[in-house]
């Protein structure tokens, strides 16, 4: 997983992926391929394993002691569960946005620079830092809102701005993949719209896998859709096909049930 | 108050039912008695609740009243606070507590130099770096440390640590500020650990996840996220350690060497840990039993006690306010 020439070529491939929390099996033999450079939506009822699958892709599940994973997850062709994979490198190239915005209790610019300063031994000059902060914030359409208060604590921002910041702080690390776990569930309608607009802006430059239980959102922003139920990946296809001509009976019921 | 309807609102439902049933059998006087008893119990509980406030206030006022007359007995405020000669039993007694305050300060500083890094490191280990079982074991061990009686600590300092200090430093005596500092430091570790761990636990897990998802190692996460986020709680932990160290008596009495000395000077390293010192607590403990009630020396000791009380009170109050501030914000 070296410096990617074209980041968007990193897809995610799951091979026969199963996961247990203690003795409870949360994922059953999930196999699929997330195409690079597009937005894939992950839908399904609450508790079906969406968050779990997402967290397999940057090995965040391992923070919990009692998790056992079986199978392979390939990011950019490399199995991230191999023994020689560095978690640090993995998390640099696979960024994650959480359900509740969780900016660090530091200033706005410190949040943006946090990732770089973890990894880069050399110090960045003032002007380099300013440049990085500006470009990251511009990319998430937050620059104009906060450019006068970059030294302010990030935890004091509005939720929508916090979530944008949480996306922005991933960008200086030049990730290939962005994992998002219901990034709008803590936001109001306006905030949701803003994040969706931002996602559309990022489309094509990153491989994005986004969990949502808002069907409208999935149909609006995703190119492909994955439907999960009880730890099984039931269906994966182009969004229009999943919503309009689902192949599986269970997908159909879920999609219609939520519409009706 | 007399009607059943009211009583069922003011006492727990189950008891009200019982009262009602009893009332049917034993009549209205029984019910009145029952309610009165209820009222008395609540009153008693409230009294116990506020009694701690009364006790603290009463104790402080008592000490102060016993001590303040000292200032009208020919030894002024200046001698008391600004001179360092505490010779209460000499021909011309002098009562300067400066050396005692410096002694207490020296022991406290040495203790904290030891207890704060050691205690906070243990807190970080317990809250961030170990499995559940190791964590529980460590916590029990740390609590055991707190359960050792202070006279036993004093014994360890006097008989075990003292000779070691003499061997390694060539000091004249093993009972000195360093000895007491190390012992009191060990005694303060448990409180630093437990409050420090609380502070670290109070940091939401989402911060940890955020840092780790950006590729931070555990230690980077601790240093760059946890420490800043838990800063005030960790400060409170250190302050409570300070409070513990200032107030410790028995171990200090046994380990400091009890001599009136100023272990400081203007040149580096400013503090001389190998000098024997006297502290406020140990002085009171060792002298109060032998003084004549109401006399000069007696009054001086009580005034010294008031100063000590104020110092520990302020330190503990500050720490408590910080801790409460954190809880309030959450
Ligand atoms: N840390 C955990 N320990 C044990 N079980 C868990 C844990 N996290 C999630 N689960 C269980 O795994 C299943 C899938 O959870 P999750 O992936 O969070 O679902 P979703 O995100 O789709 O709502 C649920 O049944 C949940 O109870
Ligand atoms: Mg979830």
Task: Kindly report whether the peptide bond that precedes residue B105 is cis, defined as omega within 30 degrees of 0.
Answer: no
Domain range enclosing A238: 4-105+180-255
pLDDT, residue B28, reads: 81
For B197, residues 6+ apart whose C-beta sits below 8 A from its C-beta are B123, B126, B127
Chain B residues within 8 A of A102 when measuring between CB atoms:
204, 206-207, 209-210
β-bridge pairing A12-21 and A24-34: antiparallel
Answer whether residue A223 shows pLDDT above 50: yes
For residue A221, give both structure tokens.
Answer: 């922003």
- Rounded to whole angstroms, the Cα distance separating B157 from B204 reads 41
Q: Is A94 exposed, middle or buried (0-12, 13-18, 19+ CB in 10 A)?
A: buried
pLDDT, residue B186, reads: 94
Instruction: Give A 28-67 residues with CB within 8 A of chain B.
Output: 58, 60, 63, 65
pLDDT tens-digit readout, B251-283: 999 988 888 877 777 767 777 887 888 899 999
Mutate to test the pocket of ligand 1, among A18, A45, A51, A63 (most ligand atoms within 8 A of CB): A51
- Rounded to whole angstroms, the Cα distance separating B189 from A104 reads 30
Closest Cα in chain A, distance from residue B187 (Å):
33
- Rounded to whole angstroms, the Cα distance separating A87 from B58 reads 60
CA A53 to ligand 1: nearest atom: 17
pLDDT, residue B22, reads: 56
What is the DSSP code (8-state) at residue A124?
P
Q: Between A159-168 and A108-119, two packed helices, what is the crossing angle to 10 degrees?
A: 20
Chain B residues within 8 A of A166 when measuring between CB atoms:
210
Q: By the CB < 8 Å criterion, does A1 face chain B? A: no
- Of B131, B207, B217, Cβ closest to residue A104: B207
**Chain B residue with the nearest C-alpha to that of A86:** B215
- Of B132, B207, B220, Cβ closest to residue A102: B207
Chain B residues within 8 A of A91 when measuring between CB atoms:
212-215
pLDDT, residue B19, reads: 58
CATH of residue A235's domain is 3.40.50.300
Q: Which fold has domain B98-329?
A: MetI-like fold (1.10.3720)
Scanning the structure block, which residue is given the tokens 């996961």? Answer: A19
pLDDT tens-digit readout, A33-73: 999 999 999 999 999 999 999 999 999 998 888 899 999 99
Answer whether residue A18 shows pLDDT above 90: yes
Dihedral (CA of B243, B249, B251, B254) sign:
positive
Count of the separate structural domains present in chain A: 1
Closest Cα in chain A, distance from residue B101 (Å):
39
pLDDT, residue B328, reads: 64
- Rounded to whole angstroms, the Cα distance separating B208 from B229 reads 11
For A220, residues 6+ apart whose C-beta sits below 8 A from its C-beta are A196
Scanning the structure block, which residue is given the tokens 């946005």? Answer: A97
pLDDT tens-digit readout, A96-145: 999 999 999 999 999 999 998 888 766 788 888 999 999 999 989 899 99
% residues pLDDT > 90 (chain A): 70
Selected residue of A106, A107, A114, A186 to mutate for chain B interface (largest B Cβ count, 10 A): A114
Q: Is B96 left (phi over 0), alpha (psi -120 to 50) or beta?
A: beta
Is A167 within 8 Å of A97 (Cβ atoms)? yes
Selected residue of A105, A112, A168 to mutate for chain B interface (largest B Cβ count, 10 A): A105
Selected residue of A107, A118, A154 to mutate for chain B interface (largest B Cβ count, 10 A): A118
Task: Give residue ranges with CB within 6 A of ligand 1.
Answer: A 21, 24, 26, 44, 46-52, 64
CA of B316 to the centre of ligand 2 (A): 43
Mean pLDDT, rounded, of chain A: 89
For residue B205, give both structure tokens.
Answer: 């897990």
Q: By the CB < 8 Å criterion, does A166 face chain B? A: yes
Q: By the CB < 8 Å criterion, does A185 face chain B? A: no
Half-sphere exposure of A57 (CA within 13 A, CB side): 33
Ligand with the closest atom to the CA of A182: 2
CA of A120 to the centre of ligand 1 (A): 35
pLDDT, residue B73, reads: 83
Q: Where do the domains of chain B lie?
A: 12-70, 98-329
Chain A residues within 8 A of B220 when measuring between CB atoms:
118
Q: Is A16 exposed, middle or buried (0-12, 13-18, 19+ CB in 10 A)?
A: exposed
Half-sphere exposure of A162 (CA within 13 A, CB side): 21
Q: Where are the alpha helices (DSSP H) in chain B?
A: 4-10, 13-26, 28-67, 77-82, 98-124, 132-147, 150-155, 162-169, 177-201, 205-213, 218-221, 227-229, 231-247, 250-255, 280-287, 296-329
**Structural domain contains residue A54:** yes
- Rounded to whole angstroms, the Cα distance separating B19 from B36 reads 12
Task: Report ipTM (2 d.p.).
Answer: 0.88
Residues A78-105 have a mean pLDDT of 92
Answer whether residue A75 shows pLDDT above 70: yes
Q: Where are the alpha helices (DSSP H) in chain A?
A: 50-56, 87-93, 108-119, 126-139, 143-146, 159-168, 189-202, 215-221, 239-244, 249-259
Residues A152-166 have a mean pLDDT of 92
Mutate to test the pocket of ligand 1, among A19, A22, A24 (most ligand atoms within 8 A of CB): A24
For residue A163, give both structure tokens.
Answer: 């979530």
Query: Residue whose CA is closest, atom 24 of ligand 1?
Result: A47
∠ CA B147-B151-B154, nearest 5°, is 110
Chain B residues within 8 A of A170 when measuring between CB atoms:
214
Q: Which candidate, B228, B204, B225, B232, places its Cα nearest to that of A117?
A: B225
Q: Which candidate, A10, A1, A4, A2, places its Cα nearest to that of A209?
A: A10
CA A46 to ligand 1: nearest atom: 23
- Rounded to whole angstroms, the Cα distance separating A64 from B69 reads 64
Residues A146-174 have a mean pLDDT of 92
User: How far is the CA of B143 from the CAs of A25, B81, B187, B192, B232, in angstroms?
Assistant: 38, 38, 11, 11, 23
Answer whether residue A259 shows pLDDT above 60: no
Q: Do B212 and A106 touch (CB under 8 A)?
A: no
Ligand with the closest atom to the CA of A65: 1
CA of B138 to the centre of ligand 1 (A): 30
Is B248 within 8 Å of B268 (Cβ atoms)? no
Write out residues in chain B with pLDDT < 70, as ranges. 1-26, 267, 327-330
Q: Which candidate, B54, B29, B86, B43, places its Cα nearest to that of B300?
A: B86
pLDDT, residue B2, reads: 43
Q: Which candidate, A20, A38, A37, A36, places its Cα nearest to that of A28?
A: A20
- Rounded to whole angstroms, the Cα distance separating B45 from B27 reads 28
pLDDT, residue A64, reads: 84
Residue A20 — very low, low, confident or very high, per pLDDT cuts 50/70/90? very high
């Amino acid at each position: 997983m070296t410096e990617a020439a074209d980041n968007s070529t990193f897809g995610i491939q799951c091979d026969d992926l199963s996961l247990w929390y203690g003795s409870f099996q949360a994922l059953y033999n999930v196999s699929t391929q997330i195409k690079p450079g597009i937005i894939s939506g992950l839908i399904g009822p609450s508790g079906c394993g969406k968050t779990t699958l997402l967290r397999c892709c940057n090995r965040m599940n391992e923070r919990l002691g009692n998790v056992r994973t079986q199978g392979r997850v390939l990011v950019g062709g490399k199995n991230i569960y191999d023994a020689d994979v560095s978690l640090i490198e993995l998390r640099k190239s696979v960024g994650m946005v959480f359900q509740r915005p969780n900016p660090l209790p530091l200033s706005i610019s410190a949040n943006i620079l946090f990732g770089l300063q973890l990894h880069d031994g050399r110090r960045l000059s003032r002007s380099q830092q300013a440049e990085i902060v500006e470009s990251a914030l511009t990319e998430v359409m937050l620059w104009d809102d906060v450019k006068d208060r970059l030294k302010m604590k990030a935890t004091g921002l509005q939720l929508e701005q916090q979530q944008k910041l949480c996306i922005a702080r991933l960008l200086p690390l030049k990730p290939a993949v962005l994992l998002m776990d219901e990034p709008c569930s803590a936001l109001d309608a306006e905030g949701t719209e803003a994040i969706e607009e931002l996602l559309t802006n990022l489309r094509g430059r990153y491989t994005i896998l986004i969990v949502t239980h808002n069907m409208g959102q999935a149909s609006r922003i995703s190119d492909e859709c994955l439907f999960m139920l009880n730890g099984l990946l039931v269906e994966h296809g182009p969004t229009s096909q999943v919503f309009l001509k689902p192949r599986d009976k269970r997908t159909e019921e879920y999609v219609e049930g939520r519409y009706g | 108050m007399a009607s059943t309807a009211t009583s069922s609102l003011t006492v727990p439902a189950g008891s009200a039912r019982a009262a009602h049933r009893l009332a049917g059998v034993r009549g209205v006087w029984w019910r009145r008695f029952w309610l009165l008893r209820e009222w008395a119990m609540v009153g008693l509980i409230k009294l116990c609740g506020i009694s701690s406030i009364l006790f603290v206030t009463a104790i402080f006022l008592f000490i102060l009243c016993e001590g303040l007359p000292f200032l009208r007995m020919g030894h002024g405020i200046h001698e008391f606070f600004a001179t360092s000669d505490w010779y209460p039993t000499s021909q011309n007694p002098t009562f300067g507590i400066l050396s005692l305050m410096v002694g207490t300060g020296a022991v406290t500083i040495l203790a904290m130099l030891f207890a704060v890094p050691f205690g906070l490191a243990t807190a970080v280990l317990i809250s961030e770096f170990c499995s559940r079982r190791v964590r529980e074991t460590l916590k029990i061990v740390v609590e055991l440390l707190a359960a050792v009686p202070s006279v036993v600590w004093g014994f360890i300092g006097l008989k075990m640590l003292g000779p070691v200090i003499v061997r390694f430093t060539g000091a004249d005596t093993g009972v000195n500020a360093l000895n007491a500092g190390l012992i009191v430091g060990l005694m303060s570790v448990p409180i630093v650990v437990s409050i420090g761990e609380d502070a670290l636990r109070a940091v939401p897990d989402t911060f940890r996840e955020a840092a780790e998802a950006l590729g931070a190692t555990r230690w980077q996460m601790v240093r760059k996220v946890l420490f800043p986020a838990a800063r005030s709680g960790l400060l409170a932990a250190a302050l409570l350690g300070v409070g513990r160290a200032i107030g410790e008596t028995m171990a200090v009495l046994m380990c400091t060497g009890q001599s009136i000395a100023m272990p400081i000077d203007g040149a580096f390293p400013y503090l001389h840990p190998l000098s024997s010192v006297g502290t406020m607590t140990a002085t009171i403990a060792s002298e109060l039993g032998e003084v004549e009630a109401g006399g000069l020396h007696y009054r001086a000791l009580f005034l010294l006690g008031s100063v000590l009380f104020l110092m520990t009170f302020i330190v503990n109050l500050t720490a408590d306010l910080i801790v409460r501030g954190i809880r309030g914000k959450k």
